């Protein structure tokens, strides 16, 4: 007797459930060896690293800081489709589906091997996933075939008995629509020779439900285990980090919030976040250490308490991301507390020629900063421990990150920092340099219009225009605005806090009812006025004047 053909719903479901079991078991094992080893997350992280910059820019543009959620959901859809397909090509024999499910798991193994932060145990998680996925597939498939065969036998028995038994509903289908192969006609009341009506289906249904529930429980357990490294407890244990030298209080008049600018200090929850980490790295302060090595006189190995015991300084700094379009949102300001990075490098003794400081995060991300900039006495480069009066939030690099005023984040602001290597620009390309971004990336002088917003309708009369401007480490000299290509009007600048932070501005314009295009441009303290020429963020930051179209009614 040939094996029965499973119906589409059952076969697709077998594929989906086995992949769910695989992902869950992978996640459970990852709970022990590091959540990044979870096949789903490892594949996602590797996808991030392999994604061409252009696509990544698109993702950031389209989804903003939800780009990671978009990736995870997109992957879920693709994997689910693949899983269903694996089931559908196995309507008679389980082997094709088992091979496909195994192949999917191999992707996880490759991804785990490619992750720099997982160590040797990393591939265990996807290997366990493969075993779970393939076994589940074989098991469910066997049960489904048995159920379908029982159905067929029953149908045969029914047609055999047709005409003898009175028509009736019996326990037909047992409330399990779609499971097993549907019989052509209505079920008939059973004859003595008939095989047990629904035991095959019931077994399959139970097994499927058990697999689904098991996947949720097992996956959830992995998630809990993975988070047993309690970063929040470590942050609480760290407590208050008080600087020996506090930054001056932010003066009144440092922003024009009432006119539509952001507040001068960005709260930690509102602070923009950009990084390649799909799971926020979890490093406890008590486990943390920083190795300083490479072209140095003496290697250093610093613990968190070593840094904490030093003279800590506090500075307000505006960070911004090179991937900002003109007028973009990835810019924020915080008060950072930390150790002057210059002091640490001087203790290690930088050898001549080491023009690049390579910093590395616990998840393997790398960043190259000009050594000369970090060593400038008044640059204010920091190994930061705290942000706005609390230990760094996990998303912003707890326990220690770099902050270098005046340079875009990708060449200066390494989060979850664990390694500093003195090297050269010739010898090493950091993460984004390898992907076509410039090795040198000082922040470009820029103005952004925050109010009115694009296509806003504002009442006639004096129109208040407000925004931000930045030229970190140079300082803003002037901001000008104009409407419809008319004469430039000098904006009023808010109180300056320091040259490393943004500067708010406002102006009032008399505008007739109708549509208007506003433009703004900033001039920094070196006398440089930002260029009108439009350039994309790649390779070293967007240029051009921000413009906003709006309507006066
Ligand atoms: N470990 C790590 N650090 C990183 C990154 C990253 O991907 N990984 N991204 C950098 C980039 S591109 C920017 S703009 C800043 C953003 O810092 P924030 O998320 O605290 O705002 O972090 C930098 N530090
Ligand atoms: Mo960035």
Give, in degrees to the nearest 5, the angle at Cα 433 between 427 and 437: 145
> What does the pLDDT read at residue 116?
74
Residue nearest to atom 5 of ligand 1 (CA): 275
CA 428 vs CA 70, 275, 335, 344, 359: distances in Å = 32, 20, 32, 22, 11
Residue nearest to atom 19 of ligand 1 (CA): 273
CA distance 373 to 432: 19
CA distance 7 to 410: 52
> What does the pLDDT read at residue 153?
86
Average pLDDT over residues 302-321: 97
> What does the pLDDT read at residue 465?
98
Contact (CB, 8 A) for 410 and 432: yes
Check whether 177 has a pLDDT greater than 80: no
Compute φ and ψ for 136, nearest 5 degrees.
Answer: -60, -40
Instruction: Give the ligand 1 atom nearest the CA of 363.
Output: 1
> What does the pLDDT read at residue 71?
86
Ligand nearest to the CA of 537: 2
Q: What 3-state DSSP class applies to 15?
A: helix
The two structure tokens encoding residue 279: 């799971």
Q: Alpha-carbon torsion 385, 386, 391, 396, what sign?
A: negative
Contact (CB, 8 A) for 441 and 483: no
Asked if residue 361 has its Cβ within 6 Å of ligand 1, the reply is yes
From 397, 409, 472, the mutation candidate for ligand 1 (largest count of ligand atoms within 8 A of CB) is 409
Query: Of 418, 338, 343, which is closest to residue 376 (Cα–Cα)?
Result: 343
The two structure tokens encoding residue 27: 């996640």
Ligand nearest to the CA of 331: 1
Which position has the higher pLDDT, 174 or 55? 55
Read off the pLDDT of residues 347-382 as tens digits, 9 standing for 90 and up. 999 999 999 999 999 999 999 999 999 999 999 999
Asked if residue 396 has its Cβ within 6 Å of ligand 1, the reply is yes
> What does the pLDDT read at residue 159?
81
By percentage, how much of the chain surpasses pLDDT 70?
Answer: 92
CA distance 189 to 157: 11
Which of 157-171, 174-188, 225-239 has the lowest average pLDDT? 174-188
Asked if residue 276 has its Cβ within 6 Å of ligand 1, the reply is yes
Q: What 3-state DSSP class applies to 452?
A: coil
Check whether 176 has a pLDDT greater than 50: no
> What does the pLDDT read at residue 200?
85
Asked if residue 53 has its Cβ within 6 Å of ligand 1, the reply is no
On the CB side of 274, CA atoms within 13 Å amount to 24
Averaged pLDDT of the chain: 90
Which of 25-39, 137-151, 194-208, 296-310 has the lowest average pLDDT? 194-208
Strand pairing category for 461-470 and 503-511:
antiparallel
Q: Which helix (H) or strand (E) holds 384?
A: strand 382-387
CA distance 272 to 26: 32
The two structure tokens encoding residue 475: 């300082």
Asked if residue 416 has its Cβ within 6 Å of ligand 1, the reply is yes
Distance 296 CA to ligand 1 centre (A): 26
> What does the pLDDT read at residue 184?
41
Q: Which helix (H) or strand (E) holds 158?
A: helix 124-161
The distance from CA 542 to its chain's CA centroid, rounded to whole angstroms, is 22
Compute φ and ψ for 14, nearest 5 degrees.
Answer: -60, -45
Average pLDDT over residues 19-35: 93
Distance 123 CA to ligand 2 centre (A): 30
Give the pLDDT band (50/70/90) at residue 3.
confident
Ligand nearest to the CA of 319: 1
Q: What's 257's DSSP letter? A: G
Give the pLDDT band (50/70/90) at residue 548.
very high
> What does the pLDDT read at residue 349?
98
CA 415 vs CA 8, 27, 273, 394, 519: distances in Å = 48, 25, 11, 9, 35
From 273, 274, 382, 441, the mutation candidate for ligand 1 (largest count of ligand atoms within 8 A of CB) is 274
CA distance 200 to 189: 18
Give the pLDDT band (50/70/90) at residue 26.
very high
The two structure tokens encoding residue 498: 């320091």
CA distance 34 to 241: 29
Instruction: Give the ligand 1 atom nearest the CA of 332.
Output: 21
CA distance 405 to 116: 28
Q: Alpha helices of 283-394 — where are they, by DSSP H?
A: 304-308, 341-348, 371-375
Average pLDDT over residues 536-553: 96
Give, in degrees to the nearest 5, the angle at Cα 217 between 211 and 223: 130
Check whether 469 has a pLDDT greater than 80: yes
Give, in degrees to the nearest 5, the angle at Cα 359 between 473 and 62: 75
Ligand nearest to the CA of 273: 1
Give the pLDDT band (50/70/90) at residue 193.
low
Which position has the higher pLDDT, 100 or 36? 100
Contact (CB, 8 A) for 397 and 412: no
Report the predicted TM-score, pTM, of the whole model to 2 decimal places: 0.82
Q: Alpha-carbon torsion 378, 384, 385, 388, what sign?
A: positive
Contact (CB, 8 A) for 415 and 359: no
Distance 108 CA to ligand 1 centre (A): 25
Check whether 187 has a pLDDT greater than 90: no
Q: 186-225 burial string, b = 16+ CB within 10 Å, else e?
A: ebbebeeebeebbebbeebbebbeebbebbeebbeebbeb
């Amino acid at each position: 007797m040939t094996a029965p053909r499973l119906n589409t719903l059952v076969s697709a479901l077998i594929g989906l459930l086995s992949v769910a079991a695989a992902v869950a078991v992978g996640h459970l094992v990852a709970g022990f060896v590091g959540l990044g080893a979870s096949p789903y997350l490892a594949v996602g992280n590797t996808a991030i690293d392999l994604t061409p910059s252009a696509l990544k820019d698109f993702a950031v543009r389209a989804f903003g800081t939800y780009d990671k959620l978009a990736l995870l959901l997109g992957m879920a859809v693709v994997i689910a489709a693949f899983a269903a397909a694996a089931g559908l090509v196995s309507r008679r024999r389980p082997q094709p589906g088992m091979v496909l499910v195994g192949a999917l798991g191999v992707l996880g193994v490759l991804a785990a091997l490619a992750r720099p932060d997982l160590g040797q145990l990393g591939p265990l998680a996807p290997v366990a996933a493969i075993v779970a996925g393939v076994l589940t597939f074989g098991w469910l498939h066997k049960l489904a075939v048995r159920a379908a065969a029982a159905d067929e036998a029953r149908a045969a028995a029914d047609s055999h008995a047709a005409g003898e038994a009175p028509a009736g509903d019996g326990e037909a289908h047992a409330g399990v629509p779609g499971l097993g192969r549907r019989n052509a006609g209505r079920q008939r009341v059973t004859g003595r020779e008939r095989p047990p009506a629904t035991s095959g289906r019931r077994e399959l249904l139970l097994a499927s439900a058990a697999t689904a529930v098991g996947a949720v429980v097992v996956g959830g357990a992995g998630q809990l285990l993975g988070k047993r490294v309690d970063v929040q407890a470590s942050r609480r244990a760290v407590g208050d980090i008080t600087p020996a030298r506090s930054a001056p209080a932010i003066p009144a008049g440092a922003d024009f919030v009432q006119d539509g600018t952001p507040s001068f200090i960005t709260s930690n929850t509102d602070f923009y976040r950009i990084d390649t980490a799909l799971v926020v790295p979890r490093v406890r302060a008590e486990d943390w250490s920083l190795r300083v090595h490479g072209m140095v006189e003496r290697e250093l190995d610093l613990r968190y308490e070593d840094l904490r015991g030093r003279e800590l300084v506090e500075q307000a700094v505006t960070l911004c991301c090179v991937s900002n379009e003109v007028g973009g949102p990835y810019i924020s300001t915080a008060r950072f507390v930390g150790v002057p990075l210059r002091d640490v490098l001087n203790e290690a003794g930088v050898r001549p020629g080491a023009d690049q400081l390579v910093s590395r995060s616990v998840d393997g991300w790398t960043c190259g900063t000009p050594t000369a900039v970090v060593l400038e006495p008044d640059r204010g480069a920091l190994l930061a421990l705290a942000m706005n009066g609390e230990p760094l939030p996990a998303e912003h690099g707890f326990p220690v990150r770099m902050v270098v005023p005046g340079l875009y984040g990708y060449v200066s602001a390494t989060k979850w920092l664990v390694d500093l290597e003195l090297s050269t620009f010739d010898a090493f390309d950091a993460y984004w340099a390898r992907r076509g971004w410039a090795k040198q990336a000082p922040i470009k002088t820029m103005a952004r219009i925050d109010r009115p917003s694009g296509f806003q309708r504002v009442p006639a009369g004096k129109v208040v225009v407000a925004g931000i401007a930045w030229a970190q480490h140079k300082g803003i000299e002037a901001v000008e605005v104009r409407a419809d290509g008319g004469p430039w009007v000098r904006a009023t600048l808010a109180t300056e806090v320091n040259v490393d932070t943004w500067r708010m501005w406002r102006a009032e314009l008399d505008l007739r009812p109708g549509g208007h295009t506003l433009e703004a441009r900033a001039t920094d303290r070196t006398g440089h006025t930002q260029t009108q020429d439009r350039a994309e963020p790649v390779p070293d930051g967007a240029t051009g004047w921000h413009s906003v179209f709006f309507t006066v009614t």
